[in-house]
Structure 1
């Protein structure tokens, strides 16, 4: 049977953009402080049993893909039982969603991942539960129920002025936080929406429940850490100090169980608001990096991201030297990066160059390595991974009718593996470059003070006296600049960037890394 393979024109164009690199150091794992974490939505990853839904056994089968890419850890979006496809409203904190498998399946996954030196981090959603959680089912039965104070309840007349709240925050466009369960005069608080009632962390019993849950996943299951969802909203926004204190207490309780536990928090706000969380959450997602990267491309301004990142690192460094900057270029809540860059393949490949040559501990969202597309609503940012052409793809999930993850728009992994300049092979190359050159993984970030064209993003990375100069041309026009004295060695070149007789030539969207 003849099969017609349709390859998107964007991928065909990539074959004209060459990459060369020189590396001298050995391959190293710098996780957690500077290693690479791969984010997986199991529902869409790999279906091992043919029911159309991705599962834990499917991830176990595809661990080699994560290893081949060069990632050091996996962060799983929620895996616990839930009535929603995304599973951010938990009904049982000590179980696996049955669509995904069993606890034994997950323990096997962890064992196999650890054999490959891959750490496992799971989403921990403790700001709220589902309304279907047994705690809430009990809580709403009456004011005298022992679970009543597991949640935040108030009489209607005491919160009348808040019932039609119109404030929209950075991380929620929900305009109603108090919800009527439909029986009686009492309302419950749910920051994100009515199906997600907030837990009451003023109640010591709730805090102890959460610590017991953490202990279960660390001791009995064997995970390496937690991604803490909605970490800013444990207590209301007008009680930030209570939030900070809770996370310090949480960290102390978890380190009693696992001294080297990895904790990364989602605190979506300005750096001044984010910084006080560091004593409790030593790793924090850098939302500024994501948005400033896109702004730099939009404005064709090379200074924006470097100056922003330098300011953040210096600011956090003045507070503590024990923090991990979790950088990312896209995730499950943001449009896919290729969509944000107008589906420009040169920009897209350069953007991962930027992520991997900046300080931090980068996160990669599943599917980015093959140039998957996706845009709001969120379901279409979380579409099925394309392993092979549809006729051959036994593991492709079918739980959703994809709008973007189709062969006509995205070239499957099996095809990309055979194309030397595919997105996948580019990701592998730049990740390997980072993992074999300590200045790129562990080095400091220093600004390049000389005058350069505004289209160029230029910065130094230095570690133990080894100093690299990194240059990205964010424009579609060739740029030139002189190399600093004694910088004569080319470490890496993308899109035909060159160094000759002290002169650097940078075609549109090219990258150069040079050293002494």
Structure 2
């Protein structure tokens, strides 16, 4: 079948996520662009990247940094031209690399011609492209669903006297996937890009496209009483994705990843199991909520290390046993930097960054590197709310104060949680604006760029960048990383995450210290006797001095090591 040929190559590949606005500016505009990315492909090739994930560069008013699309088939002039895009594809193919582009079809911008037509009248041919409801009998909102960016999920349209659904920003109107014509439009626009040479798609919040057509009120007293259970992994979602696979993903042999909001393991197995004919792999975000107090993003607490390990274990074993495939990641454009969340971005910045990388890259799945992660870029040192650009952050700064917090308390939370933490410009060298632009950057560069940049790390064989290169190469060389059975080894150790990957003739062992103190770790008698007692060869480590191999290991602060037993 059409899906089988693609089952091999991307399982040993590493994906590099490019946030184009912040990657490289070629014009001096202060905003990154397509030509800037094309000019840095040699850097990505040297890193060992095979798939470049390019986030939205379509025409957009940029209320949500391109995830509010106003024209799915044109390049926004801020990023360049269609000729620039075609050149990018040519240059990638010359290097044996693949382009994965973002597709945003849960919603469009309210500036999209479809919506502009739809709002003209209730009987407009495009009306049913979106989700409209009359006001409640009391004149209020159709239901109590909440936007993921804060506030009600319904926006009132004065022209027709109805509300439209907007689960994200008020300018992002949800598309009506119950309408067969909408589904046909979505497939057609993906075919358009596949015909241009795009090799895959990352599907934005794709598991939200099927809504419960009753549109009932939620229980506001529940911890998730915001309506999400009525549109997350909805009643027809698998049907809709299978339809896309039949029309687009299969015939064009595309690599696909679905971004899954508030999903479950059971659904992700279905989404990514090859015989289901849906996606190649899925993103889930449960492991990035372990520092959410009471499950709330905008409430802070130290991260729960035991829960982090439990979640990795659950998804590794669950997906493996059922034949699903994970997209592995610590960072993306919507998350604060993992280094600042789960490591030490000060004294042990280098060790922490390498430790997080080793831990992730030893797991089963396709790893994703988010721009700057390979340099150990931390959260920036924000001082003022005016430094932020992100619409979600600015909305929440206001909402948090409305809830009774002081401006200082609200800012402390925004500093930790803002999506802008990951969106500051890429740090290429120690020149002004970190070599990102000759103009004024759209979002300020982190002040530590003179110490943390590509140029300085390329010159250092022990850099974080060098460590990532080695990990990416190991995935291609060692079959056990792709295929080995995941077995947890640390038995709830308070500081150590240790696991093995067991293959037919070899065993991979990863041991990582997530604390700033030296700590001991011992293998169980059974594992030592059956697997580890014959000695092991170090594949990669993150300190100059490696712990002596033995049944008990002494792991230094943020130490992380990968051994193989053949």
Which bracket does the TM-score occupy, shorter chain normalised?
0.7 to 0.9
Q: How does 1:297-446 map to 2 (within 5 A)?
A: 301=305, 304-319=307-322, 321=323, 323-340=324-341, 341-343=343-345, 344-345=348-349, 346-374=351-379, 376-391=417-432, 395-396=436-437, 400=441, 402-403=443-444, 405-407=446-448, 411-446=452-487
* Distance in 2 of aligned mates of 1:179 and 1:304: 37
Q: 1:25 aligns to what?
A: none
What do the CA deviations read for 1:97-154 (whole angstroms, capped 9, x no partner)? 1111122211211121122121111110001111111111111111121111111122
Q: 2:408 aligns to what?
A: none
* Distance in 2 of aligned mates of 1:213 and 1:457: 44
Q: CA deviation at 1:434?
A: 3.0
C-alpha change, 1:398 and 1:368, in structure 2 (3 Å) is: farther
User: Secondary structure of 1:38's partner?
Assistant: strand
Which consecutive unaligned segments of at least 5 residues does structure 1 have? 1-28
Residues 88 and 125 in structure 1, CA contact (< 8 A), matched pair in contact too: yes
Q: Which has the higher contact order (CA 8 A, sep 6+)?
A: 1
Task: Say which of 180, 184, 187 aligns to 1:211.
Answer: 187
C-alpha change, 1:317 and 1:60, in structure 2 (3 Å) is: same
What do the CA deviations read for 1:17-71 (whole angstroms, capped 9, x no partner)? xxxxxxxxxxxx9642242100001111111122222111111110011111122
C-alpha change, 1:135 and 1:392, in structure 2 (3 Å) is: closer
Residues 380 and 403 in structure 1, CA contact (< 8 A), matched pair in contact too: no
TM-score, normalised on structure 2? 0.77
Residues 335 and 421 in structure 2, CA contact (< 8 A), matched pair in contact too: no
Q: How does 1:35-46 map to 2 (within 5 A)?
A: 35-46=13-24
What do the CA deviations read for 1:172-192 (whole angstroms, capped 9, x no partner)? 243312211222422211111
1:262 aligns with 2:263: no
1:238 aligns with 2:230: yes
Task: Say which of 138, 155, 158 aligns to 1:179.
Answer: 155
What do the CA deviations read for 1:68-105 (whole angstroms, capped 9, x no partner)? 11222111111110001611011111111111112221
C-alpha change, 1:448 and 1:352, in structure 2 (3 Å) is: same
User: Secondary structure of 1:58's partner?
Assistant: helix
Task: Say which of 197, 203, 212 aligns to 2:173.
Answer: 197
Residues 123 and 226 in structure 1, CA contact (< 8 A), matched pair in contact too: yes
C-alpha change, 1:394 and 1:299, in structure 2 (3 Å) is: closer
Q: 2:387 aligns to what?
A: none
User: Secondary structure of 2:109's partner?
Assistant: coil
* Distance in 2 of aligned mates of 1:115 and 1:233: 37
Aligned length: 478
Residues 29 and 437 in structure 2, CA contact (< 8 A), matched pair in contact too: no
1:82 aligns with 2:85: no
Bigger Cα displacement from structure 2, 235-244 vs 95-104: 235-244
Q: How does 1:131-210 map to 2 (within 5 A)?
A: 131-157=110-136, 160=139, 162-163=141-142, 165=144, 167=146, 172-210=148-186
Root-mean-square deviation (Å): 2.9
Residues 290 and 327 in structure 1, CA contact (< 8 A), matched pair in contact too: no
Q: CA deviation at 1:503?
A: 5.2
* Distance in 1 of aligned mates of 2:126 and 2:493: 63
Q: 1:485 aligns to what?
A: 533
Residues 485 and 502 in structure 2, CA contact (< 8 A), matched pair in contact too: yes
Residues 290 and 328 in structure 1, CA contact (< 8 A), matched pair in contact too: no
Q: How does 1:98-113 map to 2 (within 5 A)?
A: 98-113=77-92
* Distance in 1 of aligned mates of 2:505 and 2:290: 29
What do the CA deviations read for 1:428-452 (whole angstroms, capped 9, x no partner)? 2332333322222432212338x68
Which consecutive unaligned segments of at least 5 residues does structure 2 have? 1-6, 212-228, 294-300, 380-414
Q: 2:501 aligns to what?
A: 461
Q: How does 1:17-28 map to 2 (within 5 A)?
A: none
* Distance in 2 of aligned mates of 1:452 and 1:187: 50
* Distance in 2 of aligned mates of 1:214 and 1:165: 33
C-alpha change, 1:448 and 1:336, in structure 2 (3 Å) is: closer
Task: Say which of 197, 200, 206 aligns to 1:222.
Answer: 197
User: Secondary structure of 1:359's partner?
Assistant: coil
User: Secondary structure of 2:541's partner?
Assistant: strand
1:283 aligns with 2:281: yes
User: Secondary structure of 2:260's partner?
Assistant: coil
* Distance in 2 of aligned mates of 1:440 and 1:478: 26
C-alpha change, 1:77 and 1:179, in structure 2 (3 Å) is: same
Q: 1:5 aligns to what?
A: none
* Distance in 1 of aligned mates of 2:155 and 2:507: 57
Residues 387 and 396 in structure 1, CA contact (< 8 A), matched pair in contact too: no
User: Secondary structure of 1:284's partner?
Assistant: strand
What do the CA deviations read for 1:448-503 (whole angstroms, capped 9, x no partner)? 38x68543222111334221222122232232536532134333333223225665
